[in-house]
Amino acid sequence: MTGFTVVDPFTGQTGTQVPFASDQEVQAAIAQVDDAWSTWARTSTVAERAAAIAKVAEIHLARVDELAAIITREMGKPRAQAVGEVEFAAAIYQYYADNAEALLADEPIAVEGGRALLRKAALGPLLGIMPWNFPYYQVARFAGPNLIVGNPILLKHAPQCPDSALVQEQIFHEAGIPVNAYVNLFASTEQIEPIIADRRIRGVSLTGSERAGAAVAEIAGRHLKKVALELGGSDPFIVLGSDDLDATVEAAVAGRLDNGGQSCNAAKRFIVIDDLYDAFAEKFTAAIAQVAPADPTSDDTELGPLSSEAAAERLDGQVKRALENGATALLAPQPREGTKFFPGVLADIDRANPAFGEEFFGPVASLYRVHSEDEAIEIANATDFGLGSYVFTPDEQQALRVADRIEAGMVFINVVGAEAAELPFGGVKQSGTGRELGAVGIGEFLNRKMIRLPE
């Protein structure tokens, strides 16, 4: 690949093509955000920056159809879900604009013999490395709060997202963020290391693969840079009881198929108590079987194509290996048609099967039968990942007890699709470090400056 390129995963048509930035352009971009750090970041107020971010939210909502069409074309997101992503991004910007001054207010510290306070100051220019699966939402949860803080942003988007990268840069500037405070950069993978190493860059946030996260963390560590990582998950969906199994199954299907199953925190492993397992498996498999990939530009499409031919080939290989190693196909995916990947349901996956420890990034679900709450928790935690999780039971005390024992950054009880701008997002173990969104998210890249005063 020689640059950023849109290849519509449904039609196969090539769209926008942008060459990678030259090394000179990379240096110019770093100089821009460094200039913003010494000017805009020092002279603008939180209220002024929050007003600009509120305008960003307003523009997203005013241009929702246009923005949704861009990401449907870039990565195949069904139109209704693309509209939802634009609206969620707008909600994130609005949340931080509305709450910025309270979130960034000085905190008094009780101290003997004097006074002290904690001042929340900007850290400096940041590099953001974004993924393709949520082109607007991912930028919103990183750039929105950090621009309000006063951290200039250098943004490297995914190679298949040049149109959404450019339109977001244009929106920030239209809203009043200076051109040097938010800079889009079409950098190559090879250019990332010298950017992180540059003394003018103070931190880096990446959402992506374990491999990419490990590489970025290693570089950042060598150069003593703050890093936040969100690296995927293999989220358990634990069913220990249900007053309405049909509703539980409906939630399970939605949790697996949203965004084509290409969500880091999608429900992927369905862990069901023995006395509900057979009925759940039958209903879940029947519901999944009713869904097929279709034209993502249609308003009623539930499942679009996978994001690329490479993604479809990778998932196809995972399913084949799982079956070769003893898994049972309750619903075998129909032969894929390019990027059009039909849903599947696998069961009887033992610990020797490669599928037991893999993340299936697409519309393939894994079912596990368990005989106790303890066994459900043990299976849920038997993964290197620890991003999100789901617990379904009518017994709230049981749900909270299980939530305490799950090794994950997030637990959703009897609900899916309940993420919100106010709720911190992030994980543990191989799923990464740090948090975004909510009051916690705005604090990820802060200089928490202690100021001591006399009595």
Q: Looking at residue 261, what DSSP letter applies?
A: G
CA separation (Å) from 51 to 36, 44, 150, 418?
A: 18, 11, 13, 27
Given the residues 230, 358, 436, 444, select the one marked as catalytic.
230
**How far is 30 from 194, CA to CA, in rounded Å?**
11
Nearest in space to 260 (alpha carbons), one of 342, 347, 378: 342
Is 264 marked active-site? yes
Edge-to-edge order in the sheet of strand 390-392: 328-331, 344-347, 364-370, 267-273, 235-239, 390-392, 412-413
CB-based burial, 305-328: b 16+ in 10 Å, e otherwise: bbbbeebbeebbebbeebbeeebe
Residues 415/388, Cβ–Cβ less than 8 Å: no
Token pair, residue 325, equals: 């190693």
Given the residues 264, 302, 359, 436, select the one marked as catalytic.
264
Give me the torsion for CA of 75, 80, 85, 87, rounded to 10°: 150
**How far is 167 from 307, CA to CA, in rounded Å?**
20
- Within 8 A by CB and 6+ apart from 352, the residues are 325, 326
Helices (H), 160-273: 162-175, 189-197, 210-222, 245-257
Is 210 marked active-site? no
SS3 assignment, position 410:
coil
Give the chain's length. Answer: 455
**How far is 247 from 13, CA to CA, in rounded Å?**
39
Distance of CA 239 to the CA centre of its chain: 24
Residues 359/268, Cβ–Cβ less than 8 Å: yes
Helix (H), strand (E) counts: the chain: 15, 18
Residues 267/248, Cβ–Cβ less than 8 Å: no
The catalytic site residues sit at: 230, 264
